[in-house]
Amino acid sequence: EAQVKMDYSVEKTSSRLWNAMHRYNKDAEQTVAVSGEGSWFTDDNGMKYLDGVSGLWCLNLGYGRQEIVNAAAEQMKKLSYFPLTMNHQPAVELAGKISELLGEKYQTFFSNSGSEANEAAFKIVRQYHNQTGNPGKYKIISRYRGYHGTTLGALSATAQANRRVKYDPPVPGFLHVYPPYSYRSIFGGGAEESDLKAAQMLEEMINWEGEETVGAFIMEPFISGGGVIIPSTKYIQRVEDICKKHNVLLIMDEVVSGYGRTGKMFGFMHAEGVQPDIVTMAKGLTSGYLPLGATAVKSEIYDAFKEEGKNNHFRHVSTYGGHPASCAVALKNIEIIEREKIVERVNDLGEKKLGKLDQLIEHENVGEVRRIGFLLGLEMVTDKASKVPLDELKMAEIVGKCKQEGLIIGKNGDTVPGQNNVIIVAPPLTSTEDDLDFIVETVSAVIRSL
Ligand code: PMP
């Protein structure tokens, strides 16, 4: 007669929440954010911190933009939701704007997050191959260290050991190749040569698995959370060539790099001539003001399998995906990015201000400084010759000391066991020159104190 009784008492529920959401656990001396303005937020003790990782690489326009808040409120007053099976005005307008920004005609499907945007991409890949006579092409290749999300499919593409293995087995059909990580390349040669060999490994895998089984390759143009890895742009071009040759769709995960972070509207645009089949986005799409994911698919791909009058269009329904208020926020966000010439600003100040951190390469514990736009990684080592990764305690010390000084920075967590040794700096793209000076001075002083 064992009847399992769930205990939903407030006390139990909240204590479970405390445990699961350790970010909010005061017992662990966590900082609780209360308000924010520009690049700064204030905690519940009145302490101010510069958010040097933009929340989670999403806060491109910083905290407290009244214009964005108004856009959300006005939309909610005008049309707070939308009738079933219909589109709504902000979504239609946003989809058009995304095509314009991507420089070609894309169809865009909206969802709730970056993870879901990638899930939708994987489904589109399967449907496209299924309905164009290649039903066997279901495998998805991604790269070690890449991050693509937290739901099971996206997590299966996420080849970061510590995040994934405890939820094994992954969804079948997800395979991984080495990234173009020239600092620790297993391929040898100079940076560009080893990057091109990493691209070659993709082709080897496609051949090995059989081209008729491989559906897509997913990549971030610049691996961000996995340690800020910035390949030669020739790598991205070579990857695209390989994908085209084998009828493998190229999915560009622009969840972090999209909307200006790297000094182009989208990261892939650094590689001349590249035009991915599918582009996924979230985070910077709304600057974090409301949740929204988007999966943009080249119209020629979508049109290849969607037949008018037949019930074979892409199905990806989620109640809140593409919420009108989120789309209105995204439109306002993009309007501000364009009006304030944020992309140019990132190029200019990324070089002029964050570029000063290049000097840290003189320090024995800094193995490599990697940066593009407002995305910067410092690969920390015990010494330059051995390249042994700096240990977790030292890494925590760097992050902790910066926090004591009022600066929040990140590090690659849970990427590869024993290799969580990259300090990550990625401030809001609207950070003032003083903000950027503060970041440079604080990070430099903390690292020099090691
Ligand atoms: N792709 C990349 C490159 C990301 O960094 C993230 C989030 N860190 C995601 C996908 C998943 O986005 P979300 O957290 O919105 O699901």
- Which atom of ligand 1 lies at the shortest distance from residue 56's CA? 8
Greatest Cα-to-Cα distance within the chain, rounded to the nearest angstrom: 71
Class of domain 10-65+343-448: alpha beta
Q: Burial of 247 by CB count in 10 Å (0-12 exposed, 13-18 middle, 19+ buried)?
A: middle
Probe target for ligand 1 pocket from 228, 256, 415, with the most ligand atoms within 8 Å of CB: 256
Probe target for ligand 1 pocket from 60, 255, 318, 320, with the most ligand atoms within 8 Å of CB: 255
Task: Report the separation in Å between the CA atom of 359 and the middle of ligand 1, taken as the mean of its atom positions.
Answer: 31
Cα 302 from Cα 22, distance rounded (Å): 42
- Which DSSP symbol is given to 216? E
CA nearest to 256, candidates 215, 308, 219: 219
Q: How would you classify residue 418: left for phi > 0, otherwise alpha for psi between -120 and 50, otherwise beta?
A: left
CA nearest to 294, candidates 121, 67, 64: 121
Sequence-distant (6+) residues with CB within 8 A of 299 are 104, 105, 106, 107
- Sheet order of strands, 422-425 included: 366-372, 375-380, 422-425, 410-411
Classified as helix, coil or strand, 364 is coil
Ligand 1 pocket, 229 CB below 6 A? Answer: no
* Confidence at residue 29, expressed as pLDDT on a 0 to 100 scale: 60
* Confidence at residue 311, expressed as pLDDT on a 0 to 100 scale: 72
Amino acid (1-letter code) at residue 274 = V
DSSP state letters, 180-212: --GGG-SS-SSHHHHHHHHHHHHHHHHHHH-GG
Probe target for ligand 1 pocket from 56, 118, 147, 224, with the most ligand atoms within 8 Å of CB: 147
Q: Burial of 246 by CB count in 10 Å (0-12 exposed, 13-18 middle, 19+ buried)?
A: middle
Task: Report the separation in Å between the CA atom of 58 and the middle of ligand 1, taken as the mean of its atom positions.
Answer: 9
**Which whole-number Å values give the CA distances from 98 to 75, 81, 92, in the listed order?**
19, 21, 10
Query: pLDDT under 70 in the chain at which residues?
Result: 1-29, 414
Ligand 1 pocket, 282 CB below 6 A? Answer: yes
Cα 62 from Cα 432, distance rounded (Å): 11
**Which whole-number Å values give the CA distances from 53 to 34, 212, 389, in the listed order?**
17, 41, 22
Domain ranges of the chain: 10-65+343-448, 67-339
* Confidence at residue 414, expressed as pLDDT on a 0 to 100 scale: 66
Task: Report the separation in Å between the CA atom of 109 and the middle of ligand 1, taken as the mean of its atom positions.
Answer: 17
* Confidence at residue 12, expressed as pLDDT on a 0 to 100 scale: 40
Ligand 1 pocket, 399 CB below 6 A? Answer: no
* Confidence at residue 270, expressed as pLDDT on a 0 to 100 scale: 98
Q: What is the CATH number of domain 67-339?
A: 3.40.640.10
Cα 50 from Cα 409, distance rounded (Å): 9
* Confidence at residue 161, expressed as pLDDT on a 0 to 100 scale: 80
CA angle 49–436–28, rounded 5-degree value: 25
Cα 401 from Cα 419, distance rounded (Å): 20
